[in-house]
């Protein structure tokens, strides 16, 4: 299920929110509409937490996370850190990291198993990502762009990348990430995928300028048409893997 | 192209051409980020005539750009520490969607409305309206947009309905409200919404050709549009303008006057002052959108201003704007 929404007349909702399989972060400010749209979709399944990061509303671009953990930039305040630690489930490790490139959401793109990282991230940061998020980290570029976190978004089921990604790059990334990938746009031709779209395994939110064609591409690559919350899917997957062996 | 002798080199060399301390501070804040490279050179070129589909219009277009081309090129200046820009005027087209939308973000203050639909209306009117870009710009960024939309023609679209409701809601002035109601009610077919938004530091030398272009296009549209209905939709009797101003905080208490010789009203855009003087009626309302306030503006409150100007006053506006900018 994909929902179209706006944040104060702005369709770049991936900037003001962060959605994972275990929690959802939403920026403070704007009208209550933004928060309540997320609540309506997710409230029964995962916590929806209103927060700011480093005193700003651009939380989606400053932090990176998945169901295992959440990474915050060095300029996150102590109160914000405490608030997040209190509001998120105990299984989620919340960690503030010292990294020069502080817009972690623009530098890191991840799902629950794999992460793509900006080629210039520190070695310690890469290790922290692997530790806190429980993922395998690959330094990569997407269509020649080093801001991998901005130009590609992927969940455990599929991914969407910058429209100018070549077929070879698509294949290479798909092999690394082990999910099907498609090159496309969001918000009526915008190539900054992660700014216009935020997605987890069973639901997605995109800006209201997104056309019906873009929406159908999103729904098909992320397999959202008959998706259920991932807790159930994980149970199924465990039993399936047993039978493969 | 013939070049007239430079008239303003000394005045433009160190001082930016602005009309108030506020505009100057805003323009300086955004301009000084520029490289050491090149120069401000506003220059007109032919509009993208490929997108216009009326033969009569093409000839008129060429004549117009030739005359205004020579007057604009007289403004070629050389100064250091500024960015060179060759501005080009184009007809609005669908690919300008994102650029125009960004310029119109705060058009109706912080109201959540069908802005995308509104932008589509502007882009769907290639014959009346102009988009200003920089020549050979890789980003294809939009620096200014002007258009005139007939409110009656689009009265059923969601964005226009929301716009009307918003105007009626923010109008607190009771005598003016009646006039506003009749304007957007019975007389809606005669009303043109004049949309004009631009980046803060757009050179003011571009304003006369920009507005001249718009009003000329409106006139040509009354003859060149394919159907009689469309032709008459451009015979505006009134222009409705929504813009922003700064009002001194103590202006209301002291009965409209302010001590210390400070201005009661500061206009964000120079043409607004002329429109205000020519307007038949207007009202202002407090603005809620978050804004960056310069130190000089700490005594001022941001307000929205809605004005109605009769179409017959437009030629006077054009003359006054020309003399204001060319000072």
Q: What local confidence, expressed as pLDDT, does residue B14 receive?
A: 44
Name the residue among A8, A10, A188 with its Cβ closest to that of B97: A188
Across residues A118-126, what is the average pLDDT?
94
For residue A87, give the 3-state DSSP assignment. Answer: helix
User: Shortest CA distance to B294 belongs to which of B15, B27, B82?
Assistant: B27
Q: Do A9 and B98 touch (CB under 8 A)?
A: no
Q: Flag whether residue A8 sits within 8 Å of chain B, measured between CB atoms.
A: yes
Q: Flag whether residue B115 sits within 8 Å of chain A, measured between CB atoms.
A: yes
Which of B96, B116, B117, B139 to mutate: most A Cβ within 10 Å? B116
> Would you say residue A68 has pLDDT above 50?
yes
With a CB cutoff of 8 Å and minimum separation 6, the contacts of B125 are B92, B147, B149
Chain segment A129-142, per-residue pLDDT in tens: 999 999 999 999 99
Q: Name which residue leads in pLDDT, A151 or B27.
A: A151
- Distances in whole angstroms, Cα of residue B79 to Cα of each of A120, B28, B206: 39, 14, 18
Q: Flag whether residue A31 sits within 8 Å of chain B, measured between CB atoms.
A: yes
Q: What local confidence, expressed as pLDDT, does residue A30 receive?
A: 73
Q: What local confidence, expressed as pLDDT, does residue B252 receive?
A: 62
Residue A198, strand partner residues: A205
With a CB cutoff of 8 Å and minimum separation 6, the contacts of B231 are B221, B222, B223, B224, B225
Whether pTM > 0.80 for this model: the answer is no
Neighbours of B44 (CB within 10 A): 24
Across residues A69-80, what is the average pLDDT?
96
Band (pLDDT 50/70/90 cuts) for residue A8 is: confident
Q: What local confidence, expressed as pLDDT, does residue A239 receive?
A: 55
Q: Name which residue leads in pLDDT, B21 or A56.
A: A56
What are the residue ranges in chain B where pLDDT is below 70?
A: 1-80, 251-261, 290-293
Q: Flag whether residue A190 sits within 8 Å of chain B, measured between CB atoms.
A: yes
Q: What local confidence, expressed as pLDDT, does residue A117 receive?
A: 96
Name the residue among A9, A189, A190 with its Cβ closest to that of B112: A9
Chain segment B93-138, per-residue pLDDT in tens: 999 999 999 999 989 888 889 999 999 999 999 999 999 999 888 8
Chain segment A181-236, per-residue pLDDT in tens: 999 999 999 999 999 999 999 999 999 999 999 999 999 999 998 766 655 555 55
Q: What local confidence, expressed as pLDDT, does residue B80 receive?
A: 63
A58 contacts A82 by C-beta, under 8 angstroms: no
Q: What local confidence, expressed as pLDDT, does residue A236 receive?
A: 57
H or E element: which one contains A182? strand A181-183
Alpha helices in chain A (DSSP H): 13-16, 32-42, 59-62, 78-87, 104-107, 123-133, 148-151, 167-177, 193-196, 212-221, 230-244
Chain segment B54-84, per-residue pLDDT in tens: 333 333 333 333 333 333 333 445 556 777 7
């Amino acid at each position: 299920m994909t929902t179209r929404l706006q944040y104060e007349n702005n369709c770049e909702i991936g900037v003001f929110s962060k959605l994972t399989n275990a929690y959802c972060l939403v920026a403070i400010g704007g009208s209550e509409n933004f928060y309540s749209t997320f609540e309506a979709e997710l409230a029964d399944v995962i916590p929806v937490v209103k927060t700011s990061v480093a005193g700003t509303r651009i939380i989606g671009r400053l932090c990176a996370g998945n169901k295992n953990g959440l990474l915050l930039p060095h300029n996150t305040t102590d109160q914000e850190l405490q608030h997040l630690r209190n509001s998120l489930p105990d299984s989620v490790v919340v960690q503030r990291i010292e990294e020069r490139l502080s817009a972690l959401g623009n530098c890191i793109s991840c799902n629950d198993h794999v992460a793509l990282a900006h080629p210039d991230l520190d070695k310690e940061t890469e290790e922290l990502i692997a530790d806190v998020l429980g993922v395998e980290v690959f330094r990569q570029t997407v269509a020649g762009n080093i801001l991998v976190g901005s130009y590609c978004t992927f969940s455990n089921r599929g991914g969407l990348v910058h429209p100018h990604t070549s077929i070879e790059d698509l294949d290479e990334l798909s092999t690394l990430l082990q999910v099907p990938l498609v090159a496309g746009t969001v918000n009526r031709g915008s190539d900054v995928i992660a700014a216009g779209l935020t997605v987890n395994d069973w639901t997605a939110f995109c800006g209201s300028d997104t056309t019906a064609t873009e929406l159908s591409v999103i729904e098909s690559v992320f397999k959202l048409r008959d998706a259920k919350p991932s807790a159930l899917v994980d149970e199924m997957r465990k039993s399936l893997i047993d039978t493969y062996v | 192209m013939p070049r007239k002798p430079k008239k303003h080199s000394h005045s433009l060399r160190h001082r930016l051409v602005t009309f108030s301390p506020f505009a100057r501070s805003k323009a300086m804040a955004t301009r000084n980020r520029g490289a050491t490279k090149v120069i401000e050179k506003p220059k007109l070129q032919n509009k993208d005539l490929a997108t216009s589909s009326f033969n009569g219009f093409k000839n008129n277009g060429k004549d117009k750009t030739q005359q205004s081309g020579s007057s604009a090129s007289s403004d070629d200046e050389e100064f250091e520490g500024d960015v060179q820009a060759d501005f080009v005027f184009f007809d609005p087209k669908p690919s300008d969607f994102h650029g125009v939308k960004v310029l119109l973000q705060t058009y109706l203050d912080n109201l959540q409305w069908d802005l995308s639909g509104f932008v589509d209306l502007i882009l769907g009117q290639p014959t009346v309206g102009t988009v200003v870009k920089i020549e050979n710009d890789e980003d294809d960024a939009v620096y200014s947009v002007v258009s005139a939309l007939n409110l009656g023609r689009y009265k059923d679209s969601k964005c226009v309905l929301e716009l009307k409701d918003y105007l009626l809601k923010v109008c607190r002035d009771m005598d003016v409200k009646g006039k506003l109601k009749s304007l957007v009610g019975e007389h809606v077919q005669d009303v043109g919404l004049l949309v004009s938004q631009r980046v803060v530091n757009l050179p003011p030398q571009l304003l006369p050709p920009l507005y001249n272009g718009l009003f000329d296009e409106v006139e040509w549209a009354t003859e060149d549009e394919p159907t009689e209905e469309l032709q008459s939709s451009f015979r505006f009797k009134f222009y409705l303008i929504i813009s922003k101003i700064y009002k001194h905080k103590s202006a209301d208490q002291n009965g409209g006057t302010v001590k210390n010789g400070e201005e009661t009203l500061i206009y964000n855009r120079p043409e607004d002052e002329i429109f205000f003087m020519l307007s038949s009626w207007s009202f202002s309302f407090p603005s809620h959108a978050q804004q960056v306030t310069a130190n000089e503006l700490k005594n001022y409150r941001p307000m929205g201003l809605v004005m109605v100007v009769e179409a017959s006053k437009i030629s006077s506006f054009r003359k006054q704007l020309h003399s204001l900018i060319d000072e």
